[in-house]
């Protein structure tokens, strides 16, 4: 482009050229879609008509095949949001004059020539991989910005200026910078037009085994992983559409934030679940509530496995050792079993079978043991004797109380009783941990960490035998010997019946785990049940871990990988935060976590973070002022991030662009401006300490303000050097 000339008209000329191609694509797509529908309809009529006019099946198939490609494209286009940023977004000019257009879906003309190549096709790779060092035969890469079907902008990169075709005009400052400067909305956008080379490698990595994508904050791990899900569906549709892909993220807020990315890429067959929703398939409920730090830590640890096993083995009723556990009277003879005898029967059965599978066996063992006490010489066969014994109310009641069908929620809720915790955890947890555990079950609902424990209990207890009468579940009667096991809420929530024949969990062909550094060992076990034969994409950054023992979560990942083929990718550029913001965050985390993977920030705004200090009494007024200023300064979203105990006390005006979140709920999200209130409180209230503050400090795309209460916070100490 001649900079002294008329760039405006050059841009207009180029826009008109691209608009003509985009029009052609849409026209063709519409034509093809309606013809495919027509063919489908006529095809059905043909098959329904009489033999005289019957068309051979091969002809029908050929008709379908001819339009199948266009039909599939039109179907995927329908999934793409009507607000999408353009079906066609890229163009490559090759050194031999060949032009290729790249888009969200592939479209061919009547002669099968590609009008647009799907971004995931091999032929589209140079769009993402070509560099000035290795232009891959590309002279110019052009990114088109469209609003629906109108081309509104062009950004060019000249990759090979020495090429013979120096006549190509070059427009714009580069698509990446333009994309990064845009204001953020409430939903994450796809990056299909500006995927960078190192990201592209992770997206297109082969599907088998385990793919780990690491990198610091804002390096695109989440968005890259979502594009990878779309790529896997494209490159191996049979396997992954049928087997399913499950995407797991840290919170419901996060799932809402990312939910548009895959549909904007034309894919809607992926299941998204927050970590607190993973076991909804077997439990029928989910959770978004976080436990206090110590309880959360205990519940995530594999030490809970031992506690849960003990809990399952702990008898449900306390029997008086001085009295028979159960007795029956037959023909004037009293048959009795001692507490020691029934305990032995229980232990023997539980050594072989899961409780919910062993009800019949337990009943038979009790009846058999009572029957064997019948004096010799009675002329009654075993079956008759069992009927006589088993029909006695005292025996029936004993069996129902001693060996009921157990729902995981009932069993876990027993831990609300400190005596039960003492009995099952004294060898495993210390006194403070035991107290925190019992205390955590005082609220009537379960927490996010409980979901993995409940899922473990489904595995330990076994599915409930549907053949059994479910109304035999025992609830408290006045004077019952049973401890309280179930609340009405638990009962209502567990309406789902489990088929004992089927594997109770939903399983998937691929699991994509985001914020993997926060997945506790118990949660990894829950995830593995959803993908016993799955391949995995695992995304995380240990420096952002909320878990106190980073080594333990890393070990859990090593265990998961096992001997599976695996590959690692590291993303090295921070596309989110300006250098001014990220430098501050990096200086805070480094002394505490020297291994932090610190990316290079790609942008700088010249605006330094503002570190404010106010007295507690002045906080409300100051916060309102700072938030108003932030809302005026940026076009997009603003967040106030504060410790959970502080959030409820903050009074802020309602504004659709403003969110107030805890650091845990801010995981994975980003906002144009962020106000971090009470950084020291955030450090104190999270098991992850400073690493969780690091998460909060790395959320802004433009501006950061921190507010310390009553004097400079100690989190700032590393800044003094
Ligand atoms: N190639 C790219 N082109 C345009 N935007 C990009 C690109 N890569 C990343 N981004 C943007 O950078 C921001 C950060 O991406 P993302 O949230 O995926 O990072 P992350 O590594 O998961 O971050 P964190 O670990 O902090 O949660 C997003 O707004 C994303 O759209």
Residue 215 annotated as binding?
yes
Residue 689 annotated as binding?
no
Domains of the chain listed by start with CATH number: 10-51+60-181 (no CATH), 201-288+505-572 (3.40.50.300), 324-402 (no CATH), 579-719 (3.40.50.300)
pLDDT of residue 113: 86
Q: Are 151 and 143 in contact (CB under 8 A)?
A: no
| Å from CA of 664 to ligand 1 middle | 18
Strands 88-94 and 138-147: antiparallel
| Å from CA of 197 to ligand 1 middle | 14
pLDDT at 464 over 80: no
Can you read off the two tokens belonging to residue 464? 């409930």
pLDDT of residue 336: 93
Give per-residue pLDDT as tens, 112-151.
Answer: 889 999 999 999 999 999 888 888 999 999 999 888 889 9
| Å from CA of 595 to ligand 1 middle | 21
Listed residue (656, 687, 9, 662) closest to 298, CA to CA: 687
Q: Are 246 and 530 in contact (CB under 8 A)?
A: yes
Pocket test for ligand 1, best of 576, 577, 641 (most atoms within 8 A of CB): 576
Q: Lowest mean pLDDT: which of 8-17, 72-81, 196-205?
A: 72-81
Q: Which residue has the tokens 């104190």?
A: 684
3-state SS class at 607: coil
Q: Are 542 and 550 in contact (CB under 8 A)?
A: yes
Residue 599 annotated as binding?
no
Nearest atom in ligand 1 to 195's CA: 1
Query: Positive or negative CA dihedral for 598, 602, 608, 611?
Result: negative
Can you read off the two tokens belonging to residue 720? 């003094």
| Å from CA of 220 to ligand 1 middle | 3
CB atoms within 10 A of CB 338: 15
Residue 368 annotated as binding?
no
Query: Positive or negative CA dihedral for 231, 234, 236, 239?
Result: positive
pLDDT at 493 over 50: no
Can you read off the two tokens belonging to residue 310? 């003990």
Residue 218 annotated as binding?
yes
Helix locations, 324-392, DSSP H: 339-352, 359-371, 382-390
Residue 217 annotated as binding?
yes
Pocket test for ligand 1, best of 223, 543, 665, 696 (most atoms within 8 A of CB): 223
Give per-residue pLDDT as tens, 544-572.
Answer: 988 877 787 788 888 888 888 899 999 99
Counting residues of the chain whose pLDDT is more than 90, the rounded percentage is 61
Confidence at 108, pLDDT banded by 50, 70, 90: confident
**CB-based pocket (< 6 A), ligand 1:** 176, 179-180, 191, 194-196, 199, 215, 217-223, 541, 544, 575-576, 668, 670, 698
CA–CA dist 11, 156 (Å, integer): 11
Q: Are 517 and 215 in contact (CB under 8 A)?
A: no
707: β partners: 612, 677
Can you read off the two tokens belonging to residue 476? 């408290």
The most confident of the ranges 164-178, 214-228, 352-366 is: 214-228
The values of phi and psi at residue 291, to 5°, are: -75, 165
Q: Are 484 and 554 in contact (CB under 8 A)?
A: no
| ipTM score | 0.99
- CB-count exposure of residue 495 (10 Å: 0-12, 13-18, 19+): exposed
CA–CA dist 35, 64 (Å, integer): 10
pLDDT of residue 42: 60
The values of phi and psi at residue 346, to 5°, are: -60, -45
pLDDT at 466 over 80: no
Listed residue (166, 242, 225) closest to 2, CA to CA: 166
pLDDT of residue 132: 81
- 506 CB-side CA count, 13 A: 19
User: Which string of DSSP letters, residue by residue, matches 10-50?
Assistant: HHHHHHHHHHHHHHHHHHHHHHHHHHHHHHHHHHHHHHHS-
Can you read off the two tokens belonging to residue 347? 């232990």
pLDDT at 494 over 60: no
Rounded-to-5 percentages of helix, strand, coil across the chain: 45, 15, 35
pLDDT of residue 557: 82
pLDDT at 399 over 80: yes
CA 400 to chain centre: 40
User: Which string of DSSP letters, residue by residue, matches 251-307?
Assistant: -HHHHHHHTTHHHHTT---EEEEEGGGTTHHHHS----PPPPHHHHHHHHSTHHHHH
User: E strand or H helix at 583, and its extent?
Assistant: helix 579-589
Can you read off the two tokens belonging to residue 354? 């899961």
Q: Which residue has the higher pLDDT, 205 or 318?
A: 205
- What does DSSP assign to residue 482? B
Pocket test for ligand 1, best of 191, 261, 603 (most atoms within 8 A of CB): 191
pLDDT at 65 over 70: no
Instruction: Quote the pTM value.
Output: 0.85
Residue 220 annotated as binding?
yes
pLDDT of residue 503: 59
Pocket test for ligand 1, best of 198, 201, 222 (most atoms within 8 A of CB): 222
Counting residues of the chain whose pLDDT is more than 70, the rounded percentage is 84
**Which residues in 305-320 are b (16+ Cβ under 10 Å) and which e?**
bebbebbbeeebeebe
- What does DSSP assign to residue 150? E
Give per-residue pLDDT as tens, 174-205.
Answer: 788 888 888 788 899 999 999 998 999 999 99
| Å from CA of 669 to ligand 1 middle | 10
Nearest atom in ligand 1 to 215's CA: 21
CB atoms within 10 A of CB 536: 23
Q: Which residue has the higher pLDDT, 624 or 161?
A: 624
pLDDT at 483 over 80: no
CA–CA dist 288, 281 (Å, integer): 16
- CB-count exposure of residue 401 (10 Å: 0-12, 13-18, 19+): middle
| Cα dihedral: 613, 619, 623, 624 (round 10) | -150
Can you read off the two tokens belonging to residue 172? 């714009």
Nearest CA to ligand 1 atom 23: 218
CB atoms within 10 A of CB 215: 23
Listed residue (378, 440, 394) closest to 415, CA to CA: 440
CA 394 to chain centre: 50
- CB-count exposure of residue 347 (10 Å: 0-12, 13-18, 19+): exposed
Q: Which residue has the tokens 């590609």?
A: 114
Confidence at 80, pLDDT banded by 50, 70, 90: low
Angle at 198 between CA 193 and CA 203, to 5 degrees: 65
């Amino acid at each position: 482009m001649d900079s002294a000339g008329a760039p405006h008209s050059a841009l207009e000329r180029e826009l008109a050229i691209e608009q003509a191609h985009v029009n052609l694509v849409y026209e063709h797509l519409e034509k093809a879609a309606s013809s495919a529908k027509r063919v489908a309809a006529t095809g059905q009529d043909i098959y329904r008509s009489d033999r005289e006019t019957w068309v051979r099946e091969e002809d029908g198939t050929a008709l379908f095949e001819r339009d199948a490609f266009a039909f599939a494209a039109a179907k995927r286009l329908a999934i793409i949001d009507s607000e999408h940023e353009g079906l066609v977004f890229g163009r490559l000019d090759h050194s031999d004059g060949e032009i290729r257009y790249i888009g969200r879906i592939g479209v061919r003309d009547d002669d099968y020539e590609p009008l647009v190549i799907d971004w995931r096709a091999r032929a589209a790779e140079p769009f993402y991989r070509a560099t000035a060092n290795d232009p891959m035969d590309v002279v110019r890469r052009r990114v088109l910005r469209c609003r629906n079907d109108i081309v509104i902008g062009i950004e060019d990169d000249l990759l090979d200026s020495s090429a013979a075709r120096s006549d190509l005009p070059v427009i714009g400052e580069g698509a990446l910078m333009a994309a990064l400067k845009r204001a953020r909305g409430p939903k994450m956008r796809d990056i299909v037009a500006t995927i960078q080379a190192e990201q592209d490698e992770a997206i297109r990595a082969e599907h088998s085994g385990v793919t780990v994508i690491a990198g610091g904050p804002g390096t695109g791990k989440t968005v890259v992983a979502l594009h990878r899900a779309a790529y896997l569906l494209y490159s191996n549709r049979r396997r992954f559409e049928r087997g399913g892909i499950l995407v797991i993220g840290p919170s419901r807020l996060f799932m809402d934030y990312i939910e548009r990315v895959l549909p904007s890429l034309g894919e809607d067959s992926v299941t998204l679940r927050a970590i607190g929703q993973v076991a909804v398939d077997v439990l029928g409920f989910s959770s978004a509530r976080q436990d206090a730090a110590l309880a959360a830590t205990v519940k995530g640890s594999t030490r809970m496995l031992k506690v849960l096993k003990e809990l399952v083995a702990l008898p449900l009723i306390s029997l008086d050792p001085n009295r028979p556990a159960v007795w029956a009277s037959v023909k004037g003879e009293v048959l009795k079993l001692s507490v020691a005898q029934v305990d032995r029967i229980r232990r023997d059965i539980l050594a072989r079978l899961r409780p919910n599978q062993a009800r019949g066996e337990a009943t038979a063992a009790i009846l058999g043991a009572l029957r064997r006490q019948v004096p010799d010489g009675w002329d009654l066969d075993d079956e008759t004797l069992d009927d006589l014994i088993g029909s006695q109310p005292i025996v029936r009641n004993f069996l129902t109380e001693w060996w009921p069908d157990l729902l995981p929620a009932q069993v876990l809720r027993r831990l609300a009783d400190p005596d039960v915790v003492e009995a099952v955890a004294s060898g495993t947890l210390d006194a403070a941990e035991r107290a925190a555990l019992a205390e955590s079950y005082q609220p009537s609902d379960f927490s996010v960490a409980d979901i993995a424990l409940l899922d473990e209990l489904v595995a330990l207890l076994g599915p409930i035998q549907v053949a059994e009468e479910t109304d035999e579940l025992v609830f408290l009667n006045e004077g019952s010997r049973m401890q309280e096991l179930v609340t009405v809420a638990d009962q209502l929530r567990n309406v789902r019946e489990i088929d004992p024949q089927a594997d109770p969990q939903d399983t998937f062909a691929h699991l994509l785990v985001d914020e993997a550094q926060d997945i506790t060992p118990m949660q990894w076990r829950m995830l593995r049940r959803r993908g016993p034969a799955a391949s995995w994409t695992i995304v995380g950054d240990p420096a952002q871990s909320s878990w106190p023992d980073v080594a333990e979560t890393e070990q859990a990942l090593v265990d998961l990988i096992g001997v599976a083929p695996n590959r690692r990718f590291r993303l090295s550029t921070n596309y989110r935060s300006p250098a001014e913001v990220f430098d501050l965050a990096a200086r805070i985390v480094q002394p505490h976590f020297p291994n932090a993977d610190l990316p290079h920030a790609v942008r700088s705004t010249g605006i330094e973070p503002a570190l404010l200090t106010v007295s507690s009494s002045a906080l409300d007024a100051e916060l309102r002022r700072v938030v108003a200023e932030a809302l005026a300064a940026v076009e997009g979203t603003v967040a106030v991030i504060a410790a959970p105990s502080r959030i409820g006390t903050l009074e802020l005006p309602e504004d659709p662009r403003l969110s107030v979140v805890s650091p845990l709920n801010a995981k994975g999200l980003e906002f144009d401006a962020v106000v971090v209130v009470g950084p020291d409180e955030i450090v104190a209230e999270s098991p992850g300490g400073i690493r969780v503050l690091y998460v909060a400090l790395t959320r802004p795309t433009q501006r950061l303000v921190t507010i310390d209460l009553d004097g400079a916070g100690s989190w700032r100490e590393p800044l003094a050097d």
